Each structure stands twice: as structure tokens, then as C-alpha cells.
Amino acid sequence: MSHVMNFILVSAHFPKNYQYFAHRLKDVGINVLGIGDGSYESLPEASKQSLTEYYRVDSMDDYEQMYRAVAYFAFKYGKIDRIESHNEHWLETDARLRSDFNVFGFKASDMERVKRKSSMKKVFRSVNVPAARGRVFSDLADAKRLIEELAYPVVVKPDSGVGANDTWKLNDADDLARFYREKDEQQDYIMEEYIEGTIHSFDGLTDKDGKVVFTSSYVYNQGVLDAVTTNSSFFYYIDRVIPQALEDYGRKIVAAFELKERFFHIEFFERADGSYMALEINFRPPGGAGVEMFNYANDMDIFAEYANIVKHNRFEAEISRPYYCAYMSRKAGRTFAHNNEAIKAYCGEHLMKLIEVPKAFVPVLGSNGYVVRASDKETLLDALAFIDA
């Protein structure tokens, strides 16, 4: 009798749009088992249909509970083939569980290389991809020495951290003093030169052999750090064409990290002279509505394609990017000219989705999100201007 694959979906309840992974994995005959700290009752109805079983833990930060959940599933259903959350926050937990249960994918021993920004930088440089100058610093005296080398302004962030959390732009000695008063004593921090530029990403998915089977690229109107500090509207869009230099650098990085059966999201600065500089790599799909935007830009189902790779190591969709696709947030606390009814009427078929943003992401993404697509950039930008008016 052939083995039915067992796929454990970590954080099966959050974020809500990741429920489609469970649906599509089930569609190809994979046994999907969920772990989460949300109640079973709170799961969307379709998730209840897609999961063979859901194991609720009190806290996903308690590794012992997570271990017990996987051990229970292994005892009941046999060999566990995959453990995945597609979520940066659980990257280390996923890897520890894979190590302990000998499951395909990143193991605990890979974490130093994939979690630390200083280690990422070494990998970028090893394949001749330019990256911002900087390093981890030890104390105030060392920070001052580094600032002499880099010159203000500098950016300081946790060497191992998620997103723009705890990221500081230091313009002068007063900012440096404030950072030292308020910083997390448990953290190692990395300091980098401040790079002026537009953020572009290189996103995609690899198959089980490490071959890149899907690519995409976002252009951001501002950095996440600026969106948090200025409380301005934040938007990004999928470009219909990926610049060749960006793609070349992105593919070099993916190969260097030997990514297999994995999404990736690599951020670069595009500088005024048109050159690119690597910022960091995330070993997951883009956050928020990003993963669904792949579908709107390509008229495809990325969740189904991922399931095909897990089951058959095949990617079947046609990638022609017929549309630009944008996400825009409207920040709470600002007054806008048009309500949602007016936006629906104005954007018509170009408005793909209205999103109420989960509380955890509101500081970055705003409380309301809009996904818009159009085959030409002018129409897209016009719709975004109307939403933001």
C-alpha cells in the first residue's frame, strides 16, 4: 500500500489567507494536520474540512507542547513528511521540529545562516552580490568606532529579527544615546550604512531539487521602517517585468542558500544610479496579501502549484504576468475623501479584494487594505491615487 503524505501545518489558524495551503494540499491527496493556539471553533469552515485533525496548544512558543503535538500526530498517522508554517516567526520552531522528527527541509543547524542578518551578508558577498556595509557591534565604544567608519545616518536592527521590528535610524549622537537607553539588552544588534533607494524584491518558489520554478518582483513606495515612523500610506505592486540585474542577483542568492521546495522573498535597494544592493532574504512568501497577489498578477493558483510541488515536484502554471497588481493600506487616524462604496464604484473590476488587516500588522500595513490590478501602470496608479485621496 502506498504511503499517504502527512503534512503538518504549523499555525494552521493564522494568518487567515494561509488556509488555502491546507485546502490545496488536501486536494492533491495529502493528509493535512494542523497545530495552532487558536480554538478549533475559530477556524474557517473550509479549514475544518481540509484538516484531518487539529491539535490546539496553549502556547506555540512552548516548544515542549509543539513537540508533543507532532509526536501525537506521528504516533497516530505514521511518518511525518513535512512540517511548515510559511511564517518567519515560526522559522526556528519549524526547523527544530524537523530536526527532532527527521523531516525534509531546513533543520535547526541551518538557523544560524538563515536567521542572522550578519550571516546573510556573508552569503551575499560570497556570490558577489553587493550588500550594505556594516556588522554586529558589541558596546557603545564599538558602536562609535563603527559610526566613524560608516558616517551618520546609520540603521541599527536586531541581528536576528523579524520585519522592521526594533529597527532604528540614527541621525546623530542624541539618537545613539536614546537607542542605548531603550534597546533590548538581550539582543545582538547589527549596524549598517543608510542606503537611499527604492525597495524592490525578488520573490519566488523552488522545487524539491532547488530549481526556481516561479518568480515575481515587488516595488515598494517606501520602506517598512518609513511607513511605521511617518504613518503614511504604504503601497507596493508586482511589476510585470523583472529587471535582469535584479533577477540575476536573486537567483545567485537562492542558489547559495540551496533552497528546496521553499518560497523566498529577497529585498534589494535600487539606488539612484540604477544599481541594486541586497538588504535581506526571508525564507517564506511575502507577508500580508502578497501571496494572493501572485495569483491576481498571473491568473493562477500559487497554493495549488505549491501542493503540486510537494506531491509531484511539478509546477504547471503559465507565468506571463498579464497584470500589475498593487496592495495599498489606508492608515488609521487619517481622513480620506472616498469611502469603500465609492472606491468599489470607481475601481470596478480592477479592485480584487478589500482586506481588514490583522491587529499584529496594523502599524505597518494600516487597518484597511486594498488589492488592485490593471494591465497598464497608469490605470493602476490612478486607482491607488483615488483610494489614497
Domains within the chain, CATH numbers bracketed: 6-112 (3.40.50.20), 133-193 (3.30.1490.20), 198-388 (3.30.470.20)
Grid coordinates given for 167: 529597527
Percent of the chain exceeding pLDDT 70 equals: 95
- The per-residue DSSP string of 125-162 comes to HHTT--B--EEEE-SHHHHHHHHHHH-SSEEEEESB--
Q: With 50 as the cut, is the pLDDT of residue 227 above it?
A: no
Is residue 348 within a helix (H) or strand (E), and if so which, with residue range?
none
What is the rounded CA–CA span in Å between residue 330 and residue 370? 8
Is residue 387 within a helix (H) or strand (E), and if so which, with residue range?
helix 377-388
Sheet with 53-56, edge to edge strand ranges: 53-56, 31-36, 6-10, 82-84
What is the rounded CA–CA span in Å between residue 105 and residue 259? 9
Q: With 60 as the cut, is the pLDDT of residue 228 above it?
A: no
For residues 310-325, average pLDDT:
96
Of 17, 45, 34, 46, nearest to 82 by C-alpha is 34
- What's the per-residue H, E or C state across 75-119? HHHCCCCEEECCCHHHHHHHHHHHHHHCCCCCCHHHHHHHHEHHH
DSSP conformation class of 58: S
pLDDT digits (tens, 9 = 90+) for 326-337: 999 887 777 889
What is the rounded CA–CA span in Å between residue 124 and residue 104? 25
Q: 3-state class of 239 per DSSP?
A: coil
- Cβ atoms 270, 197 nearer than 8 A: yes
- Cβ atoms 80, 53 nearer than 8 A: no
pLDDT of residue 25: 98
Q: Which residue has the cell 504604504?
A: 234
pLDDT of residue 230: 57
What is the rounded CA–CA span in Å between residue 83 and residue 34? 10
How are beta strands 6-10 and 31-36 bridged, if at all?
Answer: parallel
What is the rounded CA–CA span in Å between residue 246 and residue 365? 25
pLDDT of residue 287: 85
The per-residue pLDDT of the chain, averaged, comes to 93
pLDDT digits (tens, 9 = 90+) for 125-166: 999 999 999 999 999 999 999 999 999 999 999 998 766 678
Is the entire prediction scored with pTM above 0.75?
Answer: yes
